[in-house]
Structure 1
Amino acid sequence: MIEPKFQLTKEVTESSNILFLKGDLDLSQAADMRSAIDPLVAEAGKKLVLNLRDLSYIDSTGIGVIVSILKARDALKAPFQVEAIPAKIQRLFDITGLSPFLTA
């Protein structure tokens, strides 16, 4: 069986929604990710966490999805955090100037 190119797993706790991203987040996967997480983005009463430990690749479209989450959560004054960022993806976040905005 072929493993999907991208997987999103949710863990819901009393105070947080944690999303574990695995594989490649690119143009072909961005719309699916956005539709899967939109309901969680709107839950302002819970912290939203993206765990990128198993994310192997992200392109500009994937970064755009994270930026849109960041903007939506900021508008709601809701906590948002990105954790366990692999070094090569952290470098992209540093280059694009996103890093300071990804912790709550």
Structure 2
Amino acid sequence: MNTNKNDKFNATTQVEDGTCTVYLRGELDLSVAPDFRQVMEPLVEDGELDLVINLKDLKYIDSTGIGILLSILKARHGMSAQFLVREVPAQIQKLFDMTGIAKFFASQENPQ
């Protein structure tokens, strides 16, 4: 398990049985976007691993964070590689619905 931490955001990765799960905690915004991209880049490019982002402990996401998630979705789709977003908190799901991106994650598991 690897962790990238700062005061307001951290991403923890766990690889098990061919699936890499990235647990996001805190606030994903412009100020932490470079850190998040650095964590995600090698994972996104590894088409052998299924990639899951768990948002259960994410408190806030801005347009920059949403843009990163969409770029991951696009890259993984282009590679025909698995990408799931799970456990989306209600306030973030509402934002996904309002911005129209929920449809891109509609087939994903999102237990509340």
TM-score, normalised via structure 1 length: 0.92
Query: Number of aligned pairs?
Result: 102
Find the aligned partners of 1:62 and 1:51 in 2 and give their Cα distance. Answer: 14
Q: Are 2:90 and 1:91 equivalent residues in the alignment? A: no
Matched, 1:45 2:25: no
How far 1:91 sits from its partner (Å)?
0.6
Displacement of 1:36 in angstroms is 0.9
Larger relative contact order (Cα-Cα within 8 Å, sequence gap ≥ 6)? 1
> What is the aligned partner in structure 2 of residue 82 from structure 1?
85
Aligned residue number for residue 19 of structure 2? 16
Match of 2:8 in 1: 5
Segments of structure 1 that go 5 or more residues without pairing to the other structure are none
Q: Deviations over 1:42-67 (max 9, x none)?
A: 11122100000000000000101101
Deviations 1:79-102 (A, max 9, x none): 101001000000111112222222
- In 1: Cα distance, 2:77 partner to 2:13 partner: 21
> How far apart, CA to CA, are the structure 1 residues paired with 2:89 and 2:37?
21
Gaps of 5+ in 2: 1-5
Partner of residue 58, structure 1: 61
Following TM superposition, the consecutive aligned residue runs of length 4 or more in structure 1 with deviations greater than 6 angstroms are: none
